[in-house]
Structure 1
């Protein structure tokens, strides 16, 4: 078997962050910071001025996109993630998460590609909210 993943491959998905989705995700993640749950409290905050999502919400969408994309045709396994949160995501924002393959190296011993990727999450204004890198193993699906 040979390479599974091509360098330069790019894939993306867009998510809408409604007040309800922010509250629900934060509750499921056990993140009870009132900036994610209490609109009045968040509106009074001088830094953010309104309800914002938990950073784990955007980060999970980035990580999930890798699994969702590659599991359609192969077997992915996350190895390393580095995510830098640059801006808050406010209620009402639309965030596009995107990955680009920067390197792919076949490893016989692992029967798969070690894949390096650059990722980002960008809001509807074109502002980067997360800059990320990842390394994953992508193997053929079991027969």
Structure 2
């Protein structure tokens, strides 16, 4: 973590990462999350559906999107998530490579040197189409 003299998070800050799904990963995550939807597990069912392939569960995409905020901010701050909202716009196929992106859209200082950080982001497929839209709020503070 950075020393206590560093700057706080600024509006306009962006961070992102690439993630490539595999069918085995999609099945395992859905199982661990308790999501038994055959569109995440059964290739034959998925092939007969409008999607034609296994799709990633919403719990999986959401976990990766939220996880990026924790991973990013915890490099320099103590961070806790306050609220997040996601909207599933398009399916993510089980063999897709996606770009997960966040942008800081607002900040405010709270008492005791705690910063509230408002975020807007999402998960995009290889074509750049928005698959999962997200907003979130975190609180960060300097490590003690």
TM range (shorter): over 0.9
The equivalent residue for 1:62 is 65
The equivalent residue for 2:48 is 44
Q: CA deviation at 1:87?
A: 0.4
RMSD of the alignment, in Å?
1.4
Which of 13, 18, 25 is 1:21 aligned to?
25
CA deviations 1:91-110 (Å, max 9, x no partner) are: 2111111100011111124x
Which of 34, 39, 42 is 1:35 aligned to?
39
Give the number of aligned pairs.
140
The equivalent residue for 1:140 is 142
Which of 118, 121, 124 is 2:123 aligned to?
121
Which of 9, 16, 22 is 1:12 aligned to?
16
Q: CA deviation at 1:90?
A: 0.6
Q: 1:91, 1:31 → 2: CA distance?
A: 15
Q: 1:69, 1:91 → 2: CA distance?
A: 25
The equivalent residue for 2:111 is 108
Q: 1:93, 1:49 → 2: CA distance?
A: 13
- Please show how residues 61-100 of structure 1 align to structure 2 within 5 Å: 61-100=64-103
Residues 122 and 130 of structure 1 are in contact (CA less than 8 Å); yes or no, is this contact kept in structure 2? yes
CA deviations 1:34-90 (Å, max 9, x no partner) are: 110111111011x21110010111111010000000111101110110111000011
Runs of 4+ in 1 over 4 A off after TM superposition: none
Unaligned runs of 5+ in 2: none
Unaligned runs of 5+ in 1: none
Q: 1:79, 1:91 → 2: CA distance?
A: 29
